[in-house]
């Protein structure tokens, strides 16, 4: 906390965050997916709660706020790399890992803001064991419902629901490598590698280890896509607290990423094969 306080000349508050959001272009009634870093904002009086309240009071219940609430720790241990576990452990881990539950399974690696947001009164969370989303506001039910287990960031996901609306992406102190919406573009290119995934879920009240199909995602390309997206489009950039932030059209970003992935498939970028 000492370092965070020393970085700011004056306290960030809910009201100052609201002012910064409005300057950024966030408006009442907007549908917005938020990717965030609390630490990049600098010290905030009230921390993540104040940031979430600021977002809610600016957007209001006439709009909708969505955040990724992923729980990648509930995954097949054969995929773990940081750190890996012994192969002899894999089956025991699969057999004993607690099943995903939207109410109490915590987020993993998403930061303090999404973890608090999923617990806010009025917020709901999709039932995907690894790539869930939470939503609050007017269209939360429509956006969250029907989240497919297979191909969980594709055409039967909250991302596809956001694409169909006049939605926006807010990168609050994070880069394009955190921009989940680009994953939707990966499902729309002609060549994709299909992989098998596994997670513990509840089926008819019983815990089961469920395997399903997914594509191999390539988020390591997202920073480059984002840089070129900005070079070709006017993307508002401003500070929320101390955090450099961006606001842009969800559909515009996905369409650009799809075009970029198709253009680079045979020009040195990794190839996607089905």
| pLDDT interval class at 230 (50, 70, 90) | very high
Q: Which residue has the tokens 């920073």?
A: 223
| pLDDT interval class at 8 (50, 70, 90) | low
User: What does pLDDT average to over the chain?
Assistant: 92
How many residues does the structure list for the chain? Answer: 274
Q: Label residue 212 exposed, middle or buried (CB < 10 Å: 0-12, 13-18, 19+).
A: middle
| pLDDT interval class at 195 (50, 70, 90) | very high
Rounded to whole angstroms, the maximal C-alpha distance in the chain is: 54
259 occurs within a structural domain: yes
pLDDT score of 79? 87
Its domain, for residue 11, covers 2-264
171 occurs within a structural domain: yes
Token pair listed for 43: 């010290």
Q: What is the DSSP letter of 259?
A: H
Contact 4, 11 (CB under 8 A): no
159 occurs within a structural domain: yes
271 occurs within a structural domain: no
269 occurs within a structural domain: no
Overall number of domains in the chain = 1
pLDDT in tens, 85-130: 899 999 999 999 999 999 999 999 899 999 999 999 999 999 999 9
Q: Can you tell me the mean pLDDT for 168-189?
A: 96
Q: Identify the residue with better confidence: 268 or 163.
A: 163
Spatial separation of the C-alpha atoms in residues 92 and 169, rounded to whole Å: 40
Token pair listed for 177: 């490598």
Q: Label residue 269 exposed, middle or buried (CB < 10 Å: 0-12, 13-18, 19+).
A: middle
The pTM of the full predicted model, rounded to 2 decimals, is 0.91
Question: What angle, 0 to 180 degrees and rounded to 10, lies between the N-to-C axes of helices 47-59 and 14-24?
Answer: 50
Q: Identify the residue with better confidence: 251 or 83.
A: 251
Spatial separation of the C-alpha atoms in residues 30 and 63, rounded to whole Å: 5
pLDDT in tens, 29-88: 999 999 999 999 999 999 999 999 999 999 999 999 999 999 988 999 998 887 888 999
pLDDT score of 250? 98
| pLDDT interval class at 274 (50, 70, 90) | very low
197 occurs within a structural domain: yes
pLDDT over threshold 70, residue 272: no
273 occurs within a structural domain: no
pLDDT score of 9? 62
272 occurs within a structural domain: no
Q: Can you tell me the mean pLDDT for 196-219?
A: 93
**H-assigned helices in 174-273:** 182-186, 222-232, 250-264
């Amino acid at each position: 906390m000492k370092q965070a306080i020393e970085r700011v000349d004056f306290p960030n508050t809910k009201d100052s965050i609201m002012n910064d959001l409005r300057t950024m272009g966030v408006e009442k009634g907007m549908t917005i997916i938020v990717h965030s870093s609390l630490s990049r904002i600098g010290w905030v009086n009230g921390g993540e709660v104040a940031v979430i309240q600021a977002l809610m009071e600016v957007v209001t219940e006439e709009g909708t706020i969505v955040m990724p609430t992923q729980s990648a720790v509930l995954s097949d241990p054969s995929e773990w790399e940081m750190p890996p576990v012994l192969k002899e452990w894999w089956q025991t881990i699969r057999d004993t890992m607690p099943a995903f539950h939207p109410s109490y399974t915590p987020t993993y690696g998403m930061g303090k803001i999404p973890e608090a947001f999923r617990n806010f009164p009025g917020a709901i969370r999709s039932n995907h064991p690894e790539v869930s989303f939470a939503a609050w506001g007017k269209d939360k039910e429509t956006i969250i419902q029907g989240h497919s287990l297979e191909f969980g960031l594709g055409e039967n996901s909250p991302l596809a629901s956001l694409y169909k609306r006049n939605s926006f992406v807010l990168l609050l102190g994070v880069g394009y490598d955190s921009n989940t919406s680009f994953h939707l573009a990966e499902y729309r290119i002609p060549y994709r590698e299909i992989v098998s995934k596994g997670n513990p879920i509840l089926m008819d009240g019983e815990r089961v280890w469920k395997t399903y199909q997914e594509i191999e995602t390539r988020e390591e390309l997202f920073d480059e896509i984002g840089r070129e997206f900005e070079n070709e489009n006017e993307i508002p950039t401003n500070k929320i607290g101390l955090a450099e932030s961006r606001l842009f059209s969800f559909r515009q970003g996905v369409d650009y990423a799809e075009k970029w992935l198709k253009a680079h498939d045979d020009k040195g970028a990794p190839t996607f094969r089905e």
